[in-house]
A = this chain, B = another copy of it.
Amino acid sequence: MPHIQLPEGLPGISSGFAFRPETAKPMRALAEVLLRGPSTLSSGEREMIATLVSTRNDCFFCQTSHRAAAAHLLDTGQGSTLEASYELVDAVRFDFQNAAVSPKMKALLMIAAKVQVSGKSVLTGDIEAARQAGATDLEIHDTVLIAAAFCMFNRYVDGLATFAPTDQQVYDEMGAMLAREGYVRESKQGA
Contact = CB atoms under 8 A, between A and B. Distances in A.
A119 B25 contact: no
Nearest to A31: B26
Interface string A114-142: 11001110101001000000000110111
Interface string A150-165: 0111111111110000
Interface in A1-55: 3-5, 16, 19-20, 22-23, 25-27, 29-30, 33-34, 37
A89 interface: no
Nearest to A124: B3
B23 A26 contact: no
B22 A37 contact: yes
A151 B120 CA distance: 12
A12 to B, nearest CB: 12
B30 A137 contact: no
A156 B158 CA distance: 21
Interface of A: 3-5, 16, 19-20, 22-23, 25-27, 29-30, 33-34, 37, 57-59, 111, 114-115, 118-120, 122, 124, 127, 137-138, 140-142, 144-145, 147-149, 151-161
Nearest to A144: B159
A27 B23 CA distance: 10
A151 B144 contact: no
A141 B34 CA distance: 24
B161 A58 contact: no
B137 A159 contact: no
A178 B141 CA distance: 25
